Amino acid sequence: MAQRNLLPFILLGLIEQSPKTGYDLKKEFETEIGEFWSVKHSQIYSELKRLVASEQIVSETGYFGNKIEKTYYKITNKGKETLETWKYSYDKQLVVNKDEFVLKLYFIKDKNDPRLKDLLNEQLLLHKNKLNHLNERMKKLFSDTKEIDDNYGHYLILDHAIRRENEYASWLEEAIGFLAK
């Protein structure tokens, strides 16, 4: 089954928060959204054109406080309706996780395969680095309960990511320990 294109909804949600430029949106994917969703820079601009064409957002180009011409995107009522409909729809299927590391493991048949130890150790390093990053983000963004209350969904996503990375790192450490026996 083909996966649904969720990029328009992400862009509508980000633009609904405040008018943004394509560059602003790209930065969101490099920081907050990038913790759980990735997209290519070119996809953002293609989707913005489609959203303008479908009248879900409007664009305004001009000089805003500096000498650089910028194009800001704002959500329309039609865009708000689309976003609200999506927010209250529920998917009845789990999304398949495409994980190249897991795919490589699938094709390793022998626990003595020389690639296995390096593969597991490299993944452990990556997941521990990711865990450290997520913990730093949690401290920076949610150091008190008011910040949690003001953006509870984001807090839950970050908490979930930290738990996921903890579990993944523990599983890798266990697998590495099993190889040592």
What is the tens place of the pLDDT at every residue in 47-66?
999 999 999 999 998 887 77
Say yes or no to pLDDT of 1 above 50: no
Q: Which amino acid is present at 179?
A: L
State the average pLDDT for the chain.
90
Each residue of 131-144: pLDDT tens digit? 999 999 999 989 88
Q: At what angle do helices 7-17 and 41-53 cross, to 10 degrees?
A: 80
What residue spans of the chain are helical by DSSP H?
7-17, 22-30, 41-53, 77-87, 100-106, 114-141, 145-150, 152-180
Looking at per-residue pLDDT, the higher value among 124 and 35 belongs to: 124
Q: Which long-range contacts (CB under 8 A, 24 or more apart) does 75-83 make?
A: 75/12, 75/15, 75/16, 78/54, 79/12, 79/15, 79/16, 79/51, 79/55, 80/12, 80/16, 82/8, 82/9, 82/12, 82/56, 83/9, 83/12, 83/13, 83/16
Each residue of 2-30: pLDDT tens digit? 567 889 999 999 999 999 999 999 999 88
Q: Average the pLDDT over 144-160 and give the result.
A: 90
Q: Average the pLDDT over 104-128 and give the result.
A: 94
Say yes or no to pLDDT of 111 above 60: yes
Q: Average the pLDDT over 118-134 and give the result.
A: 96
Domain boundaries, the chain: 7-87, 100-180
At residue 14, the pLDDT reads 94
3-class SS string, 88-130: CCCCCCCCCCCCHHHHHHHCCCCCCCHHHHHHHHHHHHHHHHH
Say yes or no to pLDDT of 104 above 50: yes
Please tell us whether the domain made up of 7-87 is placed in CATH 1.10.10.10. Answer: yes
Contact in structure between 87 and 72 (CB atoms under 8 Å): no
| Token representation of residue 149 | 């209350």
Looking at per-residue pLDDT, the higher value among 172 and 41 belongs to: 172
Q: Average the pLDDT over 28-55 and give the result.
A: 89
At residue 3, the pLDDT reads 65
Say yes or no to pLDDT of 168 above 60: yes
